[in-house]
Amino acid sequence: MILRKTIAGQLLQLLALIIIHASCHTLTSAKTVNPGGGELQQQPQLEQQQPIQGLPEPRAYMPDSQNLDFVYHDHEELTRFLRATSARYPNLTALYSIGKSIQGRDLWVMVVSSSPYEHMIGKPDVKYVGNIHGNEPVGREMLLHLIQYFVTSYSSDQYVKWLLDNTRIHILPTMNPDGYAVSKEGTCDGGQGRYNARGFDLNRNFPDYFKQNNKRGQPETDAVKDWISKIQFVLSGSLHGGALVASYPYDNTPNSRLLKGICRSSALCAMFQTYSAAPSLTPDDDVLKHLSLVYARNHAKMSRGVACKSATPAFENGITNGAAWYPLTGGMQDYNYVWYGCMEITLEISCCKFPPAYELKKYWEDNQLSLIKFLAEAHRGVQGFVFDPAGMPIERASIKIKGRDVGFQTTKYGEFWRILLPGYYKAEVFAEGFAPREVEFVIVEQHPTLLNVTLQSSKPYLVASSVASSVTTAKTRRVNDKLQLAAD
């Protein structure tokens, strides 16, 4: 167990346990069967969606007292937990760093999967990013507990086993460890610790779709940009605090310049947004709304749309378009979606930015099911491969769903994924040196549609050449090469 080392800290933990124990008797709960066997567990009554592929729901959380407690963990403790977990579960986890913060703290990523060191061909990569604002650490702790839940439940929870057998989950618990280091527990508002060590807001530091972002790139955002350029992420969640809502792209709007010019005081900004803020909708608005609802409806409270404070807005069904809430330039979720076709949602999971540690257990109970069910949505829609006439994969083939202008590309193995709701679609597929092709397909509710596309060379004489060369390049068909995580 990772413990606070002072007597005061131990007394606080004891007080927290007393409070949590007392509050547990007031929860409205429902009996749920542990798929791994044993006694029935108590779980808060949640609004739930139908399980994917007929699997039982994830079992109720049972903490492993020898690994992780419900306290805030500084960077040294966080690192120790991740390393210990990786050593204890080498077949389910891989730990790597995508870079360092300004003050030299590693940006650790933990892969949790039944194939942690190898890309599983045809199976999607997904990610969570926490603590992009240093003074919003609830998501940081939730992601540590999610890691523990996955590794301790793999052998006993059928849903978790299915998810880890068919998905590679990358978890970055803290993107802003320097900001966290100067934040203060119990501070619900304010900006201390929000920014990185140079005073930059990391969620305003990415390239923007609507306007040029002139803010100097920071090591933390540069590391994330490099990371997502190397791995084809299909789905992503960014965890924040200060509200209770799932926010989806776009975060910015063509009118953001006007808003910036008018907003010179918080009161004026609030008034302007009340009367002028409008949704900035993506071509995949239906999908992004659906993903937001998956999180909100599986959360214990979010879908109720209750405002955190009387002066703040309430969100219908617990979701909002980002720009309709308030426009911002340089946000991470828009960058993921526009530049790499990754569906990212911003998850605001606590009204208080940095609540007392004794509340963390309740936050985990509220978010556990949502965190798991959201990732499973990567298996909704269409997936497949793009090949040349010789059956070799085509890397970086471009794909667009007709009527949806934001495209995406294949991996080096020719793979692609796209989350889509049930319906009839047409895909346009094209690659340099090949004739473009249009294919039709149908999406159903429970299972992803498998779609393989073969492109013909735009120069006929290249076909024979391609077939001949395929003999000498057959070794590229080996698809389980190492990812070289440590080198990245």
- Which residues, in sequence order, are CB contacts of 464 under 8 Å at separation 6+? none
Confirm whether 77 is a catalytic residue: no
Reference 465, options 421, 422, 433; nearest CA is: 433
Q: Rounded distance, CA 235 to CA 161, Å? A: 19
CA dist 410 and 401 (Å) reads: 14
- Which residue in 351, 417, 421, 360 sits closest to 386, CA to CA? 417
In the numeric block, which tokens belong to residue 374? 């959201």
Q: What is the residue whose two structure tokens read 């204890």?
A: 88
- DSSP at 255: T
Separation CA 419–CA 288 (nearest Å): 9
**How far, in Å, CA of 476 to CA of 457, rounded?**
20
- Neighbouring C-alpha atoms within 13 Å toward the C-beta of 129: 27
User: Parallel, antiparallel, or unpaired for β 41-44 and 29-32?
Assistant: antiparallel
Catalytic residue among 57, 344, 348, 377: 348
Element spanning 159, H or E: helix 158-166
- 423-430/398-401 β-pairing: antiparallel
**SS3 category, 325:** helix
Could you tell me whether strands 243-248 and 415-418 are parallel, antiparallel, or unpaired per DSSP bridges?
A: unpaired
Q: In the block, which residue shows the tokens 């829609």? A: 381
Q: What angle do CA 343, 348, 352 make, to 5 degrees?
A: 165
Rounded distance, CA 346 to CA 379, Å? Answer: 20
Crossing angle between the packed helical segments 285-298 and 360-376, to the nearest 10 degrees:
140
Determine if the peptide bond prior to 250 is cis (ω within 30°). Answer: yes
Using DSSP's 3-state secondary structure scheme, residue 399 falls into: strand
Both tokens of 233, joined, read 């992420």
Query: SS3 for 31?
Result: strand
* Residues contacting 40, CB < 8 A, separation 6+: 31, 32, 33, 34
Using an 8 Å Cβ cutoff, are 78 and 63 in contact? no
Q: Which residues are catalytic?
A: 348
